[in-house]
Amino acid sequence: MIKENMKRIGVKEGYKYQVSEDEGYVCKLRKNPFVKFENDYFEVTADGWLWIKKGYAYDGASGPTVDTANTYRASAVHDARYQLMRMGVIPRSYRKSADIEMYRMLREDGMWYARAKPWYIGLRVGAGKYVKASAMKKTKYYPK
């Protein structure tokens, strides 16, 4: 039964993309965090597989960058791994491996070295704050 009970809506802003395929996206993590976790948006297996499920929303390229065909896969995996660190599922010590994996995926998907290397350097220099719990996106309510 549906009934109206709210006069405002809660949203989390800042997402640009959403995984749309029923099977989502699955990849083997090169550095296994040896954890098991599952929620509505992703699953991590103890043997190092990451399944990004249908409906997972992510923000793609950040900073002074542009999303292109060779960034979507890498940024989805990278955003999922950073989110798992923010949630405390994967230790923050896995940040460097997430950054290296993003660089590897960018190159594998055809990004030129001259573009991929600055991305990697930017991650190493400026992205550390995004693995902290304080970086979780907050729900905002409208109208206020």
pLDDT given at position 14: 86
| Residue 5, pLDDT score | 57
Taking the mean position of all CA atoms in its chain, how far away is CA 143?
Answer: 28
pLDDT, tens only, 3-34: 565 677 888 888 999 999 999 999 999 999 99
Q: Where are the domains of the chain?
A: 16-142
Which pTM was predicted? Answer: 0.90
* Residue of 94, 97, 80, 98 whose CA lies nearest to 39: 80
What is the per-residue pLDDT for 4? 61
Least confident of 3-17, 33-47, 96-110: 3-17
CB 84 within 8 A of CB 37: yes
